[in-house]
Chains A and B, each alone.
Chain A
Amino acid sequence: MSKILRRRELVEDDWVTLGETPPGDAESVIVPFAKFRESREQWLARSGRLGVLLAPADRVEDLAADLPNISLVALQFTGPGEGRGYSAAKLLRERYKFTGEIRAIGHVKQDLLYLMSRVGIDSFVLAPTEKPEEALETLARFKVAYTPGAPLPGLTRQRFHV
């Protein structure tokens, strides 16, 4: 198992991503959104926890009705300029009140972690070159912010409010 950053701790990843071999019934599995839609009933009927992976162009609206049955939403960041996941996370947390894990995968670099955290992403599969300890430190880098967002331990003041 590989390590991920979850809620500011370096932990073993207890999820598997759907591959060639079908997962065991009790396994926690992350399924790409297209696969999920193909056989939605079947995925929801499993006993293990279910996660859904959204590509940048996938719309959270299309997943909204199923969110109560989903434990994790993974957002894919395909490159350094990809920013749709920030809005997706914001909507998941704020509009759809999703309380499960929101995970960033792909181009997940230490310099992006603060922004990602502020829109409600709470777990990170860091890109292979990243140093997890350094990445963790970046979350405490900012003491103040202008706009509202998910709380962070070091963040003590904020200008605007919802």
Chain B
Amino acid sequence: MYRYDEIDQAVVDQRVAEFRDQTRRFLAGELSEDEFRPLRLRNGLYIQRHAPMLRIAIPYGLLSTRQLRTLGEIARKYDRSFGHFTTRQNLQLNWPELKNVPDILAELASVEMHAIQTSGNCVRNVTADHLAGIAKDELDDPRPYCEILRQWSTLNPEFTYLPRKFKIAVTDSPEDRAASEVHDIGLHMQRDAAGNLGFKVFVGGGLGRTPIIGQVVREFLPLTDLLSYCEAILRVYNRAGRRDNIHKARIKILVKALGIEEFRKQVEAEWEASKDFATQLDIAEVERVRAFFKPQPYEKLDDIDAAHGRELEFQTWYRYNTRPHKMSGYRAVFVCLKGHGTIPGDMTSEQMAAVADLADRVSFGLVRTTHNQNLLLADVKQTDLYDVWRELKNLNLAFPNIGTLTDMIACPGLDFCSLANAGTLNVATQIQKQFDDLDYLYDLGDIEIKMSGCMNACGHHHVGHIGILGVDKHGEEWYQITLGGSVNGFTALGDVIGPSVKQADVAPTIQRIVDVYRAKRENGERFIETYRRIGLKPFKEYVYVQNSAAA
């Protein structure tokens, strides 16, 4: 993985010192809350329902075990011994005290981490495919380019006060496991006819209250133009993006207003006119960063049938919670943060420390966070799988539901977040209870539920096969349900099934939705395929007739 040099370390150290001074001035009354807000936001610090919430950056989801251990220690020392992993591969602490935040940042800096630009109207953490470097369908490892973008965007003087937040994702496979088409900039790695590496550039995707799928602004961008072209996009956006209405300030609104043709024309013209002062990316720098992401020193091993002769429970876990690896003899293992009875994405300090120890032994001392709010041990020898399973099971991290309906995404919702309109965690619990029969879950197969507690869509509900959006109706928590959203190579926004339902009716409604699927599916169709074939109508009819019967 990437290691800081003197420049990287100095950047985070000086940022800690700066924030320490800013916090001191705020606590001394020298800065008003209004003045402090944009400063603290640029260091990931929100003021939430109970306390500040600190969002710690995990660039492209990659952690050393030392870093994971430190996160666990920070959560124990400054918070309530747990953290929440997010869809953008970051970690959130829900209860730190403001006066301690500079110390937390200093501890993070000591392990080459930070919380810079994890919130505020600036370029956020750059995310990537969680299977980067190990997927069979991968063109090239996207993480070096994420790291280069991270550095370029960190404290970038021109682009720190944008009209609105700005998210970049880089993906390396047609399956688009980074949901890049719902990012402000989505970069798809490509090769041109001559075999040169570059990117197809998507722009203007995003969820929130106006969900829009990104459009192609450049079919092929040579690698060395990456930074100059991003600068051109950001400059056009910084100057022309709306600042009069927070809900219309994302780049997607600008792209939509101009039309992709006009937007492209402006970006290309800006790019041409900035060539002699744009930030260059030379090959030597690319190679310097790429060297940190060389393949692990894998042993030469044959594939084995790791599940053969083992108990059914292990076989099930193997089937659902592990994934193929491009090296024979290895597999990727999910550390499941979606066990029934737990909060999606939450992990205790103890679990973090134990998983770090495990990864030191079996996965080259590295751990990844995933867009779906689980962790991943990327490089596990197949011969180690059985022991890894037993250890994860002891840690309550081996619930075999990855890729099933209860491997759902959920934002923290009303319980923690001051933006939320409705709770998500108790709905998640209800769904876990409703679908607690594993055989039944397996029969339903691949169904993605994504849930947000408000229309800011941190839980990506628009692109869930089943999306759940919490809304406030005269002070009560109601839920709007959408069907047919997806990412992973076929980006689509869900259709609203009908009027929203009460909290107690969410799980029963989902039950009726999957009843329709079970009745209508044809030979091995996945839920999303059935939906695409038969459309909304059969679901809508059944769900609402039954809902009114139940009422």
Contacts and interface: CB of A to CB of B under 8 A. Distances in A.
A81 interface: yes
Interface string B1-26: 00000110011001001100010000
Contacts of B160: 83, 86, 115
Interface string A81-110: 111101110100011000000000000010
A159 B286 CA distance: 12
A146 B7 contact: yes
B158 A87 contact: yes
Contact of A157 (B7, B18, B154, B162): B7
B400 interface: no
B156 A146 contact: yes
Contact of A83 (B6, B154, B162, B279): B162
B483 to A, nearest CB: 37
Contacts of B119: none
A160 B18 CA distance: 23
Contact of A146 (B121, B151, B274): B151
Interface string A130-162: 000000000001111111110000000111111
A119 B277 CA distance: 12
B157 A115 contact: yes
Interface in B49-71: none
Interface string B83-97: 000000000000000
Contacts of A109: 35
Given A83-B163, A115-B157, A95 B273 contact: yes
Interface in B111-159: 121, 151-152, 154-159
A84 to B, nearest CB: 6
A27 interface: no
Interface string B274-317: 10111111000100000000000000000000000000000000
B218 interface: no
A162 B18 contact: no
Interface in A60-80: 80
Given A80-B37, A95-B277, A162-B277, A147 B152 contact: yes
B24 to A, nearest CB: 12
A25 interface: no
Contacts, number: 104
Nearest to A56: B243
B156 A147 contact: yes
Interface string B211-232: 0000000000000000100000
B186 to A, nearest CB: 22
Nearest to B120: A81
Contacts of A157: 6-7, 10
A84 B38 CA distance: 16
A157 B151 CA distance: 14
B7 A81 contact: no
A111 interface: yes
B161 A118 contact: no
Contacts of B162: 83
Contacts of B279: 147-148, 160-162
A90 B163 CA distance: 17
A160 B10 contact: no
A141 B280 contact: no
Given A94-B277, A95-B273, A162-B278, A84 B238 contact: yes
B223 to A, nearest CB: 14
Interface string A45-60: 0000000000010010
A119 B279 CA distance: 13
A87 B281 CA distance: 21
B14 A142 contact: yes
A86 B17 CA distance: 24
B254 interface: no
Highest count of chain B CB atoms <10 Å: which of A94, A111, A141: A111
A142 B19 CA distance: 12
A56 B163 CA distance: 12
A160 B152 contact: yes
A86 B157 contact: yes
Contacts of B18: 111, 141
Highest count of chain B CB atoms <10 Å: which of A81, A94, A142: A81
Nearest to A144: B10
A86 B238 contact: yes
Given A145-B155, A162-B280, A87 B239 contact: yes
A149 B277 contact: no
A160 B155 CA distance: 13
Contact of B154 (A84, A111, A146): A146
B276 A162 contact: yes
A160 B285 contact: yes
Nearest to B14: A142
B39 interface: yes
B280 A160 contact: yes
Contact of B157 (A82, A88, A149, A160): A149
Interface string B521-547: 000000000000000000000000000
12 contacts: A80-B37, A81-B243, A87-B158, A87-B235, A90-B235, A109-B35, A115-B161, A119-B157, A147-B152, A148-B277, A160-B280, A162-B279
Interface of B: 6-7, 10-11, 14, 17-18, 22, 34-35, 37-39, 121, 151-152, 154-163, 227, 235, 238-239, 243, 273-274, 276-281, 285
Interface of A: 56, 59, 80-84, 86-88, 90, 94-95, 109, 111, 114-116, 118-119, 141-149, 157-162
Given A86-B161, A94-B277, A116-B157, 7 more contacts: A80-B38, A82-B161, A87-B238, A115-B161, A145-B155, A146-B155, A161-B280
